[in-house]
Amino acid sequence: MTGLQTCSSLVYLVSAVCYVIGVHLMRSPKTARKGNGLSCLGMALAVVMIVVTIIADGKITAAGWTALVAGLVLGILYGVVKARKVKMTDVPQLVSLFNAVGGGAAATIGIFDYLQVANGTHLSLILSIPVVLDVIIGGTTFSGSLIATGKLAGRVSGKPIIFPGGRLCNALSIIAMVVGAVWMIGFPQNYWALVLELVAALVFGLLMTLPIGGADMPVVVSLLNAFTGLAVAFAGFVIDHQVLIIAGALVGAAGTILTLQMAEAMNRSVANILAGGFGGGASDAGAADDVPVNVKETSADDIGLQLAYAHNVMIVPGYGLAAAQAQHEVAELAKLLTDHGINVNYAIHPVAGRMPGHMNVLLADVNVPYEEMKQMDEANSMFENTDVSLVIGANDVTNPMARKSGNAISGMPILDVDKSKSVVIIKRSMHPGYAGIANPLFSDDQARMFFADAKKGLKDIIAAAKQYLDE
């Protein structure tokens, strides 16, 4: 082993350690920022070492250098600009887009290596299996993540998109992938096998994601993230690169664990995701135009009075809170109440927002104590003793329609805010949630609607609460 090889192995080891420790630190909002920074350092070390190795090898052409430098510059610039400019509400679709990029890149590696090696001879199993899996998983992740990005961004309907023969098409795409895999391994000189494999994977990704309802999209994003990690790991096997294998395996394992946990929390089956029927309802029950009409409106002054004389308050954050960037106001309101002896907690649904952990990140950004963020099971046990539940932009995760069959959120565990003594819902309009299901909670006897932008509405509530608390 040369000195450079020894040095590169040590650098890759340090890089891998950074990934492992970084993932561990991301388990808690208190240390997540440090974990992200450490993981970035590990990736930077790996990239620098790769460039040094390429320079020392001296085999890269001028065109290769141009492509490498252009890719690095464009990738770094795009990543930095998007990360600095992206709104909190747009982070989920950005993550989904990055999943698509990762899957596409991994599939490209598999395709390129197949084209380089497939010279008319049979591929060895050691090479062929990673190549085939790279193309399948990378292609599926690419197309599926693009659809998920469109759904999260509102460019594709959040309702389950189901068409006649969808299941049959799913089955045919799976059969095509199996046939393509056997064809690629046995007859590598026939590039139509590669075309069949890639097209089948892309079609499967589309068919898997389109029938999934908006309320279940966070689970899908997590699953596609796991797919991206697996694709990257297999890409590492294809080009024999340890860092890609380790990084991909970590992402794949973490994404898989999160997907299983969220699917269990949502009372969903991961098998249904792969079958293309995840989150799809059997009827149009609770459609978007079936909106409760018997709602009772309230005012900021009345809400302030309720909160001032409450003992236990539960804040239920949702996408509307993130969209209005009102996390600072909700933290200010909570501090005002707690300073006056009122017990305040936050009810966090596993899929509130548009991605796993969306609300946790949002609240951690304004230094909300982590112990005040109650996960769904714990929060549900507290609602009966809650004087006021303040629902801010959360719809699907509080919708009692989930307890009924025949709609897109049937069977999904929800936050039992309807068991509170009083419920205040802050919304800009009566428009249904992301899943397009009307929420009968709005017309409950103990519920009151406050139609306002979350940011402005909370400011008015804070002013009113101060008035009564200072009396």
CB atoms under 10 Å from CB of 217, counted, come to: 26
Most confident range, picked from 112-116, 238-242, 267-271, 379-383:
379-383
One-letter amino acid of 243: V
DSSP letter at 451 equals: E
**CA-CA distance, 118 to 115, in Å (whole number)?**
5
User: Has residue 287 got a pLDDT over 50?
Assistant: no
131/13 Cα distance (integer angstroms):
25
Which of 470, 433, 428 is closest to 449 using CA atoms? 428
Please tell me the predicted confidence (pLDDT) of residue 81.
87
- Give the DSSP letter string of 297-364: B--HHHHHHHHHT-SEEEEEE-HHHHHTT-HHHHHHHHHHHHHTT-EEEEEE-TT-SSSTTHHHHHHH
**How many beta carbons lie within 10 A of that of residue 84, not counting itself?**
7
Superfamily (CATH H level) for 300-469: TPP-binding domain (3.40.50.1220)
Torsion of the alpha carbons at 74, 77, 79 and 80, rounded to the nearest 10 = 170
Question: pLDDT tens for residues 179-196?
Answer: 988 888 777 666 788 899
Average pLDDT of the chain? 84
What is the rounded average pLDDT of the residues 295-322?
Answer: 93
Average pLDDT over residues 245-273: 80
pLDDT confidence band for 288 (50 / 70 / 90):
very low
Q: Which tokens go with 144?
A: 């599926």
Q: What is the residue whose two structure tokens read 């460039």?
A: 51
Q: CA-CA distance, 430 to 380, in Å (whole number)?
A: 25
Average confidence (pLDDT) over 423-450: 86
238 and 198 Cβ atoms separated by less than 8 Å: no
241 to 47, 251, 274: CA distances (angstroms): 12, 16, 29
Higher pLDDT: 211 or 432? It is 211
For residue 460, pLDDT beyond 50? yes
Overall residue count recorded for the chain in this entry: 471
Neighbours of 25 (CB within 10 A): 18
User: Is residue 264 within 8 Å of 388, Cβ to Cβ?
Assistant: no
**Statement: residue 356 has pLDDT above 60:** yes
In three-state secondary structure terms, 469 is helix
d(CA 223, CA 273): 9
Mean pLDDT, rounded, for 230-243: 85
Vertex 353, ends 386 and 373: CA angle to 5°? 40
Assess whether 301 carries a catalytic annotation.
no
Sequence-separated (6 or more) residues with CB below 8 Å from residue 194: 111, 114, 115, 135, 180, 184
User: Of residues 396, 416, 418, 444, which has the active-site annotation?
Assistant: 396
The answer to whether the beta carbons of residues 351 and 402 sit under 8 Å apart is: no
Phi, psi of 426 (to 5 degrees): -100, 115
Give the confidence band of 437 by pLDDT, cuts at 50, 70, 90. Answer: confident
